[in-house]
Amino acid sequence: MIVSYPDILSKVSEAMWARLQSNGAKFDVMCGVPYTALPIATCMSLNHGTPMLMRRKEVKDYGTKKAIEGAFQAGQTCLIVEDLVTSGMSVQETVAPLEEVKLKVTDVVVLIDREQGGQARLEADGLRLHSAFTLSYILDTLVKHALVGEDVQAKVKQFIAENQTNVSMPPASAAPAAKKRMTYEARAPLAKNSLGRELFELMARKKTNLSVAADVGSPEEMLELADAVGPHVCVLKTHVDVFDSWTADHAKKLEELAAKHDFLIFEDRKFADIGNTVVMQYGGGIYKIADWSHITNAHLVPGPGIIDGLKKVGMEKGRGLLLLAEMSSKGTLANGDYTKKVAAAAEENQDFVMGFISVSPNAWGVETSPGLIHMTPGVQLAAGGDDLGQQYNTPAGVIGERGSDVIIVGRGVYKAVDPAKAAKEYREAGWRAYEDSLA
Ligand code: S5P
């Protein structure tokens, strides 16, 4: 909102500038993290005569297109300007293209440090964080002036403590797991679908419950990502219908990477048609999903015929199906009775159905068989969401409190400066949450 209040925008940027001065930060140019910090950076640049650079957010491939606009020389030092810091990830996304054009980045200034682990993460990457305010300072001030009550202050503090993003430092006050669980090893022989059994065994053997959603722009980028994160995942999830092309050769290369790194492939096709149609869509068409994807998924909106249709194609190929019992998006209609009916359909078709896409299985009000697996999307190191309805929970929240088995992480990994490193962090967080919730 500050962009609409010139006097506040000006005060905010002065407060940030003052913090930089008092901390003795030195820099030649500055760059705002797109988009909310751009007006703040502009304001600081205008008021203090420091040149500004602009990062184009939409340019993914820094090598071929101009991701950084403006006048600068290699070796100059660039300050990063951001409004909020939570995990530090959006700052790191801006550091990478700046370093790519040989600028040095040592300091980051933010209006508010939410104190959720961002500072430690940036420090680990050699970046100094200067914040005009910490969230606790703002809370204390609001309480002092009776603008929020102490109950709200306590709730916010608890939320911050429970949603720390620095996975190497688990919050002291992390909520205990809601329910104890069986090990993946113990559940493997209870799976009636052979692929479900294989997945439980793989997770136990490889010690990972991470699935990466490889929602990148081309098959080549997807294969590169699969190779980088492969050592850390149990499942690589794809959306091959977003690519311009998809060939048998791409599928073969993906299968080779799955064998090399020991993971399963999950084409997230979300089938939703009558049995007769899904037979054609699953086995044929230009993607021939059943030929190369171990796992796929379906909505139960059309009724059980969709399971029969998919089973007809996938069963003899040793494939497995996940039913979408819930969705992570705001306003989803997949809840309550619908979710219970999906759970019942899975129980009845365990030869082919290996489990669910779930969000909060502990809250379904029905127990599902231990041989069925729960995989949950909408996971990042900090809870939150995007501007199109996605809602995020943390690995500990998903595995510990909500009782799921696998975390599915997309942007939290593939948008990180170093996706392999991010995958390792999510893997460790997911596995720790699993171990903590064992009986
Ligand atoms: O309810 C759902 C079901 C799925 S499979 N919500 C989801 O977000 N997904 C998928 O998980 C979605 O299509 C995307 O591939 C991934 C989440 O990506 P992220 O970037 O938001 O982590």
pLDDT tens for residues 225-253?
999 999 999 999 999 999 999 999 999 99
140 CA to centre of ligand 1 in angstroms: 37
Which ligand 1 atom minimizes the distance to the CA of 213?
Answer: 15
For 70, the token pair is: 């403006």
Residue nearest to atom 12 of ligand 1 (CA): 377
Candidate of 93, 265, 268 to mutate for ligand 1, largest count of ligand atoms within 8 Å of Cβ? 268
How many residues are present in the chain? 439
- pLDDT confidence tier of residue 59, bands split at 50, 70 and 90: low
Nearest to 88 by CA among 105, 110, 56: 110
Tell me, rounded to whole angstroms, the distance of Cα 101 from its chain centroid: 27
Candidate of 233, 381, 390 to mutate for ligand 1, largest count of ligand atoms within 8 Å of Cβ? 390
378 lines ligand 1 (CB under 6 A): yes
d(CA 116, CA 381): 10
**What are the CA-CA distances from residue 362 to residues 189, 247, 338, 366, 373 (Å)?**
22, 40, 16, 8, 13
The mean per-residue pLDDT over the stretch 376-396 comes to 93
Sign for the pseudo-dihedral over CA of 151, 153, 156, 160: negative
Poorest-pLDDT segment among 68-77, 102-111, 112-121, 328-337: 112-121
Residue nearest to atom 19 of ligand 1 (CA): 410
pLDDT beyond 90 at 434: yes
**What are the CA-CA distances from residue 146 to residues 135, 143, 161, 335 (Å)?**
16, 5, 23, 39
Q: What is the pLDDT of residues 346-369, one digit of tens each?
A: 999 999 999 999 999 999 999 999
299 CA to centre of ligand 1 in angstroms: 14
Which ligand 1 atom minimizes the distance to the CA of 386?
Answer: 21
Q: What is the pLDDT of residues 259-308, one digit of tens each?
A: 999 999 999 999 999 999 999 999 999 999 999 999 999 999 999 999 99
395 lines ligand 1 (CB under 6 A): no
411 lines ligand 1 (CB under 6 A): yes
Mean pLDDT of the chain: 92
Q: Which of 157, 253, 270, 340 is catalytic?
A: 270
| Rounded percentage of the chain residues whose pLDDT exceeds 90 | 82
Residue 270: active-site member? yes
270 CA to centre of ligand 1 in angstroms: 11
107 lines ligand 1 (CB under 6 A): no
The mean per-residue pLDDT over the stretch 380-399 comes to 92
- Which pTM was predicted? 0.67
177 CA to centre of ligand 1 in angstroms: 24
Which ligand 1 atom minimizes the distance to the CA of 215?
Answer: 15
d(CA 120, CA 27): 22
212 CA to centre of ligand 1 in angstroms: 10
